[in-house]
Structures are given as C-alpha cells and as structure tokens.
Amino acid sequence: MPRFTFTFISSHLLASSSIITLAALPFGCSGNAEPSSLTARDMHTVEKSSFDMVLPVSGELAAQKQVEIRNKLETRAVITEIVLEGTRVTKGEVVVRLAQEEITEKVKDAKDKVNTANSAAVAAEQALAIKQGEKQSELDKADVTVKIAALALEGWMRGEVVNKRQQLQLGKETAGINLDRLNGRFEESAKLVEKGYIAKDEFEKDRIAMIEADAKVKQAALDQEVYEKYQYFQDEAKKNSDLEQARAERSRVEEKFNAELVKAKADLESASFQLQSAKDRLLSLETQVVNTTLTSPIDGLVVYATSIDSSNGGRGGGDAQPPQVGTELKPNELVILLPDTSNMVANLKVSEALSGRIKSGQRVTVFSDAMPNQPIIGSVTSVSVLAASGGWRDPNRREYTVKSGLEADPALGLKPAMRCKAEILLGRVEDTINVPVQAIFRQGPVAFVYVVASGGFEQKQVELGRSSELQIEVTKGVSAGDQVLLREPKAFEVVSKLDASLFEATNATPPSFGASNGTPRSTSATPSESPRGDDANSAPKGPPRGPRSGGGGGGSRNSTPASGEASTGDRGKRDTN
C-alpha cells in the first residue's frame, strides 16, 4: 500500500467514497494467476463533486502585541520583589520592585547640591545687577564731564574769544586815540615852552606822556597779534583736549564695566548651568526612585527573559537562572516580556513554492498542539517579504512566514510559542470530476490512473487540474462512474498499458512489472515533501477519502504542479522494474 500523508481529517466526507462495497473480482494474468480480492479501500468510483483546496502548514502562536519590561536604573539594581512567571497581570499592576535605599541617599545629596547651586546662582545674579547699576552710574558721571567740556569749548568760542578780541581791539583803539591826543598836546607844549608860557618841566611831562602813549599803542597791537596768532590756538587746543579727554574717559569707563559685566554674566551662566545640572540630576534620581517600581503597561502574561533565547535580550539563554529576590540586574537589562494573550496570531511557515498562492484575507483554521480538537478560526493578514533559510540542517529550504490573525476566546488560555498546525483555505473547486490523490500515478510528466477493465486494470492517461491534499481535479481522461484503483496494482492485475511511444516522447521510462514476487516497485524512493514539511514516514494509513463539502482538511502532499494547477497530491513518480 503506498504511503499517503493525512495531516487533518475533515468530518465532512462524502458518504459515497466511504461506503463503496465491491464483491471479490477475479483478476489474473493470461488467466493463469490466482484471483485477487479487492475491498472498498482499494477502489473508488469517479464522480463529479466539489471540494476545498486547503494548504496544511505548521507554525507557532504569538501575541499580536507584547511589551518589554527592562531595568531602567542607571546604577546597581537588586530585585526585592517579582511576580511569578506565568501570572496574568492587569495594566498598572506591580510586577517588579527594586532596592531603592542607595538611590534615596543620592537623592538627599542631590537636593543639597541643588540648594548650594541655587544660592550661588542668586549671588551671581545679584552681582550682575550691581555691576549693571555701577556701570550706569559711572557712565552718567562721564556723560556729565563730557557735556561740561563740550559746553566749556562752546562758551569759550562764543564768549571768551569774542570778549578777548573786543578787549584787545578796544585797548588798541584807545591807545591810538590817546596817542593822537598826547601828540597834539606835546606840539602845543613845545610852542608854549618856546614862548615861555609854561615851564620846561611841563613840556617834558607832555613828551613823556606822548612816548608812553606810543608804547601803549604798540603794546596793544602786539597783544592783539600774539592772541590771534598764538593764544587763541593754544586755548582752542586745550578746550578740545579737555572734551576729548572727557569722551575718552567715558569710553574707558564703559569698556571697564563691559568687561566686568561679561565676567558677571559668565559667572551667572555658570551658576545657572550648575543649578540646572543639579536639578536635572535630582530629577533623574527621583525618576530612578520611581523606576524601582516596575508596573505592567498592558494586560498580559508574565514571561521571564530567561525563558527566551539570549539573542532576544535574555540573561544567558535557557541555562540562566530565572530572576528572583536578590538577583542583580544590569542597566537596561530585559527582565520580563508581557505578551497580550487576548489578541493572538499564528506565525505559519509556507514553502517558497506555495507562497505565491497565499493572499491576505484567506481563511485559516488553526489547531494548537495543546488543544488539537479545538479549531480556531482566523484569516491571513500578511506574508513576509523575504524567505527564511532552513539553516545548516537544510540550506536549500526556503520558507515564508504567513501571519494569521485569530478569533480566539481568551478563555482558551493560548500562550505564545505554542506549536500549532493550520489549514489555509486557498479556494474551492465546484462541481468537477475529481479522484483521491492516491489514485494518480506519474511517470515523468505523464499522469495516469488504473481503471477497471475486463479481467483486470488498464492504464489510462489523465490531465490534472486543481487539487487539495486529498482530492485532485481530473480535466480529461476519466468520466463519472469510472472505477479507479487506489493502490499500485500487482503485475498480473494489469491487462492494458499505455503506449510506450507516449513515454518515449517525454523521455520517460514506461512502467514495467517484475514477475519474481508480483509486487510493483516505485522508482520514486522518497515522496515529495509535504508543504508543511511533515515527515511522510509518520503519516497514518487509512481508507481513501472522498471529496469534502466543508472547509478544513488536508492539502497537497507533493511538489508544486504545472502552471495553472494546485499541488498534485499524488505519490510522485511510480513504476516497476
């Protein structure tokens, strides 16, 4: 009996294929062989019916959403309390408590530093305000000095210079008039002294007075000349110098206080930075105190990080000790995973050859290994973009991950990483000729069946269409009512074979039957791999199954068929030597 893989047995099997009862028929080779008895397990009556195309796969369950709980402390963290693994917790419930005495002491020190830094910042701010006041006061004084010097220059030019020039001009004119008067008087005195009307002494006095008046005229002219040529410019230079000195002094005062203000501002900024740093440190420590109590952000199932692979953030893999009271944690170390088990998904593995037939929205029926009799309905939500390699065990194997959302009752108690099997409904074949997959035989690209003929069975070539794991559509070659054999016939049971030229045209060896023991041998030693990757040797043997009317059931057992077909579901190439 050829091996056939049954992954899921649907409860919706047509009765017509399960109640076939055939009487023992005599078959022989050239009429000399002993008759052979056939049972319902060996024969199937071809009929037109409908069946579902399902793809059997396997995978594991996962939570659609899960949250990591990590140690958020920057310093040494020691567990003082932790919830037991496997506990279901609600949002806001405490799951881990860490020792906080050391952090509490640091908080006290940080508060003292904040107060000290705050005092320094206030002092620096006041010093800056004082410097700003002093600068303004000194600048006001310098502005007054500059203004006085400017007014002195303007007053000198408009007052003193004009007055001085007027005095010098008046002195010069007065001396000239006085000289003219004394010259006249001297001339009169000379006439009078000659006539003897005045004494010679009076005459000499007039002459002396005339000489003095002449000297005063010259002196007045000299004074005016000296002032205009020298004194005026000297006084002007002094007044301008006084104004420039006042302005320069103001600039020096401003620069001096600007430099002092820069230092005062730098001191204030430094003090403010130190204050902010102290506040940030205090806030960080206060946050660390809060972080000593880790709560659940969602409803979920407690899973210790040591229960997962170390590559996912665990504390050393499966051999590591689970976290407990006294366990010391590293910064940012993963402690607990919280999967939300109320929304589960199935991560299913599909071979690369069949991945193109998976579409979003296709119905999926999942059976967890923990509850194999409890179907869980879901639908395909996504197919991975890249295929995963089979690793060093099977480097040529490529599988895509199909994610399926599940409509699971939380009361079922599903957990992440549970192994599961599933059926993906690819479509439905309506009202077509079909046979069980074990009725199909192949030799290269030639597919054929064994149908009942006079005195035994004859080979009949067929053309195949869509298939499931149990049923396969036959588009040409058999008709409703034909009876086909569900096993490899014995040599003496075959009364008619396909023309050998048909196999020669396809470079295939025609099947032959040995006479030594009457048992045909298959040239295909290993059946093609199930889409699910199950071991064919572990497949149960059972009666042939008819087409199904409902969803569920198995899928193809063999490799991908030709274009436009589903997986054939036959047993592979079979012939005898």
Residue 20 has pLDDT above 50, yes or no: no
**Rounded distance between C-alpha atoms, residue 510 and residue 441, angstroms:** 12
Q: Do you know the residue count of the chain?
A: 577
Task: List the one residue out of 222, 226, 227, 241 whose CA is nearest residue 163.
Answer: 227
Beta partners for residue 451, in sequence order: 458, 484
Task: List the one residue out of 541, 18, 104, 530 whose CA is nearest residue 286.
Answer: 104
Contact status, residue 440 vs residue 453, Cβ threshold 8 Å? no
- What average pLDDT score do residues 230-255 get? 92
Residue 459 has pLDDT above 70, yes or no: yes
The 10 Å Cβ neighbour count of residue 456 is 22
Output b/e per residue, 400-417; b: 16+ Cβ within 10 A: bbbbbbbebeeeeebbbe
Cα separation values, 281 from 114, 199, 277, 492, Å:
9, 117, 6, 93
DSSP secondary structure letter of residue 158: I
DSSP 274-327: HHHHHHHHHHHHHHHHHHTEEE-SSSEE-EEGGGS-GGGT-SSSTTSPPP-TT-
Per DSSP bridges, beta strands 363-368 and 334-339 are unpaired
Q: What's the CATH class of domain 66-98+296-339?
A: mainly beta
pLDDT the model gives residue 526? 33
pTM above 0.85, yes or no: no
Cα separation values, 103 from 106, 175, 288, 329, 361, Å:
5, 104, 7, 15, 53
Band (pLDDT 50/70/90 cuts) for residue 308 is confident
Beta partners for residue 434, in sequence order: 47, 473
Weakest-pLDDT range from 179-193, 345-359, 544-558:
544-558
**Which tens digits make up the pLDDT trace of 388-425?**
887 777 888 889 999 999 998 888 888 898 999 999 99
Weakest-pLDDT range from 99-113, 140-154, 400-414, 489-503:
489-503
Half-sphere exposure of 420 (CA within 13 A, CB side): 32
Chain centroid, CA 189 distance in Å = 127
**Which tens digits make up the pLDDT trace of 75-121?**
879 999 999 998 999 999 999 999 989 899 999 999 999 999 999 99
The angle formed by the CA atoms of residues 104, 108 and 112, to the nearest 5 degrees, is 160
Kind and range of the H or E run holding 120:
helix 101-155
Where in the chain is CATH 1.10.287? 103-291
Kind and range of the H or E run holding 50:
strand 47-63
The angle formed by the CA atoms of residues 390, 395 and 401, to the nearest 5 degrees, is 30
* Angle, helix 101-155 to helix 232-291, in steps of 10 degrees: 170
In CATH terms, 15-63+342-538 corresponds, of 1.10.3720.10, 2.40.30.170, 3.90.1150.10, 3.40.50.150, to 2.40.30.170
Band (pLDDT 50/70/90 cuts) for residue 509 is low
Structure tokens at 262: 């820069």
Where in the chain is CATH 2.40.50? 66-98+296-339
pLDDT the model gives residue 515? 34
For 103-291, CATH number? Answer: 1.10.287
Where in the chain is CATH 2.40.30.170? 15-63+342-538
